[in-house]
Amino acid sequence: MDEFWVFGYGSLMWNPGFPYEERVLAHLGGYRRALCVRSYVHRGTEQRPGLVLGLDRGGSCKGVAFRVTPSDWQATVDYLRERELVTSVYLERHVRARLGDGRDVRALTYVIDRTHSQYAGAVTVEEAARIVGGAVGRSGPNPVYVANTVAHMRELGIRDHWLESVASAIGADQGRD
């Protein structure tokens, strides 16, 4: 492997937590961004789960790809496993992503395990807004997570109309364009 890339589709896009040499917009086919993970740790509790993003099969997803220097590969993988595999709801995958400049790269990412008990499946905007609206976890209120995601995606020029609708339904898009 000549290069090591990481594909981010949620908070990883603006808060990677690891050093990188290059950060570019990227497109991933075969998966879509979805609020499909019941969060028992970061944005909810087991008594009142929140919803966080996962890559679910079908569709496509615009996100950010990070190129990591060879000397940081192992530390980056270790960090991502600690961050993303807290409850083993995600599966580590190497996927093909197309960078904004047309390059195709192989990237590490985390996709939802549809057999995991935290998989929420497809939820409507209304269901998502109800669940997200009152959930709080170790990393803070779930509505803040959704609002930050939408705001940062807009800054990057990435639109996700479904997620924007959820933010609107919970009032998390106030003051945003």
**Which pLDDT band, with edges at 50, 70 and 90, does 32 fall under?**
very high
Main-chain phi, psi angles of 4, to 5 degrees: -125, 120
Instruction: Name the pTM for this structure.
Output: 0.89
The alpha carbon of residue 27 and the mean position of all alpha carbons in its chain are separated, in whole angstroms, by 13
Which of 125, 135, 122, 121 is closest to 47 using CA atoms? 135
174 Cβ contact partners less than 8 Å away, ≥ 6 residues apart: none
* pLDDT, tens only, 55-93: 999 999 999 999 999 999 999 999 999 998 888 899 999
**pLDDT tens profile 1-10:** 589 999 999 9
Superfamily of domain covering 4-122: Gamma-glutamyl cyclotransferase-like (3.10.490.10)
47 Cβ partners below 8 Å, 6+ apart?
A: none
Do residues 56 and 34 make contact, with C-beta atoms less than 8 angstroms apart? yes
Q: What is the mean pLDDT of residues 158-163?
A: 94
